[in-house]
Chain A
Amino acid sequence: MSVETTVEAPKATKKEALFSKKNRRALFDPLDDNNPITVQVLGICSALAVTVQVKPAMIMAVGLTFVAAFSSLIIALIRDSIPGRIRMIVQLIIVALLVTLVDQVLKAYMFDVSKKLSVFVGLIITNCIVMGRLEAFAMAQKPWPAFLDGIGNGLGYGIILVVVAVFREVFGAGTLLGFKVIPQWFYDHGYVNNGLMVLPPAALFLIGIYIWWQRSRNTKLVNVS
């Protein structure tokens, strides 16, 4: 299914430039000004759960970007033939299908990573970013902008995840991507890893502080929500 649809996508918008201003906005806005986590308040559950270490956070971001992009694309292609009353079920089935695909690919080619992530990959189904963007954007847009919007939101989610995970891994465990970054010398002189960073509340504090920083830099976001 997805093979056919990717071929069709550019054809539908031939009249419009592939990266027109509107399309660029769909792709880049979610990275900062319209970030799914800090501005749209979507997808926070998994941001708290997978950010204890950097590596799972990165793989989770890639998986989510894939699912968000292709589910947006497929929904945008068939949006006119979905009856309004059962749209959520149709959306969820497509999302669940793509998540199963990601899960199977991870199992086949990266078994050790998949073992670490198994629960989180399943949780992409209930990640509000995917559903939220389908409801808010893909249901009313052409396939190509919807696809870009999916990629943009996945990347915006990934940025926050990696930033939070870097802080939590460095200060909580003294490592980065599994390598030791805080020198032994520190520990010898009484430095102790911050136990709070490993607990879920730390992710909330870090995202809260990130929002504070983002909004003090970009004042038009103040009072958005």
Chain B
Amino acid sequence: MEHYLNMFIKAIFVENVVFAFFLGMCSFLAVSKKVKTAFGLGLAVIFVMVLTTPLNYLILEYMLKPGALSWISPSLADVDLTFLAFILFISTIAGAVQLVEMVVEKFTPALYNALGIFLPLITVNCSILGASLFMQEREYSFAETAVFSVGSGIGFFLAIVLLAAIRERLRYSKIPEPLQGLGIAMIITGLMGMAFLSFSGIQL
């Protein structure tokens, strides 16, 4: 149990997808102007991540790994399909995002309009494909994958809401005009990244 709790905390703070690996930066910077939209995108990312990472784990385990196909027939035991991992992972993610897009469009049109192009872009939010690839690379078990995906999703949520809150406050500060908006957001993200570096090495 402690192992899972430790992994959960690590995925949120120590190895935050945004600040430690700099994944998912595009939507992170573009949708963090208001806390409300950042909140919506963060929730969407948690949802898609929790849905797709365990699904990709099952695909990897029962379709792609060497010997994984032996449940169909023993003659397939030495087929190694892991080179297809990219295409299958991204297809799963694209399918899940399409589902989320339809649900959001139907039930909360206001959020749908606010997220605009960044809803379809969750598909190419590197943090989601990144979570699946980390799961493959680190050879997690199914339970570990589930805990890791929830932690990573919450980590992204936390990061984007934090940045949105800072940017809302920034509106009242006097920043040189050309640096306003994206420029200062980049520099602040860099500073937040350095702050998050101080979490490294923490263990429960």
For the complex, give the distance between the alpha carbons of A49 and B24 in Å. 12
Given contact pairs A48-B25, A88-B94, A96-B87, A41 touches B182 in the complex (Cβ within 8 A): yes
For the complex, give the distance between the alpha carbons of A39 and B178 in Å. 12
For the complex, give the distance between the alpha carbons of A202 and B189 in Å. 10
Return the CB mask of B32-47 against A: 1 if under 8 Å, else 0: 0000000000000000
Tell me which residues from 80 to 136 in chain A have a Cβ below 8 Å from any Cβ of chain B: 85-86, 88-89, 92-93, 96, 99-100, 122-123, 125-128, 130-132, 135-136
Binds B, one of A16-24, A62-70, A212-220: A212-220
Q: Does B91 contact A (CB under 8 A)?
A: yes
Q: Does A42 contact B (CB under 8 A)?
A: yes
Binds A, one of B55-63, B120-128, B139-147: B120-128
Binds A, one of B3-11, B69-77, B190-198: B190-198
Q: Is the CB of B26 within 8 A of A211?
A: no
Tell me which residues from 122 to 155 in chain A have a Cβ below 8 Å from any Cβ of chain B: 122-123, 125-128, 130-132, 135-136
Q: Does B82 contact A (CB under 8 A)?
A: no
Q: Does A53 contact B (CB under 8 A)?
A: no
For the complex, give the distance between the alpha carbons of A116 and B78 in Å. 28
Given contact pairs A88-B123, A126-B125, A204-B187, A45 touches B24 in the complex (Cβ within 8 A): yes
Q: Does A184 contact B (CB under 8 A)?
A: no
How many B residues touch A, CB cutoff 8 Å? 45
Q: Is the CB of B178 within 8 A of A89?
A: no
B29 touches which of A41, A85, A131, A202 (Cβ 8 Å): A41
Q: Is the CB of A48 within 8 A of B91?
A: no
Tell me which residues from 166 to 215 in chain A have a Cβ below 8 Å from any Cβ of chain B: 199-202, 204-205, 207-209, 211-215
How many A residues touch B, CB cutoff 8 Å? 51
Q: Which A residues are in CB contact (< 8 Å) with B180?
A: 222-223
Q: Which B residues are in CB contact (< 8 Å) with A215?
A: 177-179, 183
Q: Does B199 contact A (CB under 8 A)?
A: no
Q: Is the CB of A127 within 8 A of B98?
A: no
B91 touches which of A46, A89, A136, A199 (Cβ 8 Å): A89
What are 29 residue pairs bridging A and B, where the CB atoms are less than 8 Å apart in the complex?
A45-B24, A45-B25, A48-B25, A49-B22, A89-B91, A89-B98, A99-B86, A125-B129, A126-B126, A126-B130, A127-B124, A128-B26, A128-B121, A131-B123, A131-B124, A135-B120, A201-B193, A201-B197, A205-B186, A208-B182, A208-B186, A215-B178, A215-B179, A216-B176, A216-B177, A219-B177, A222-B181, A224-B182, A225-B181
Identify the 9 closest CB pairs spanning chains A and B, nearest first.
A208-B186, A204-B190, A215-B178, A216-B178, A201-B190, A211-B183, A44-B25, A208-B187, A128-B26
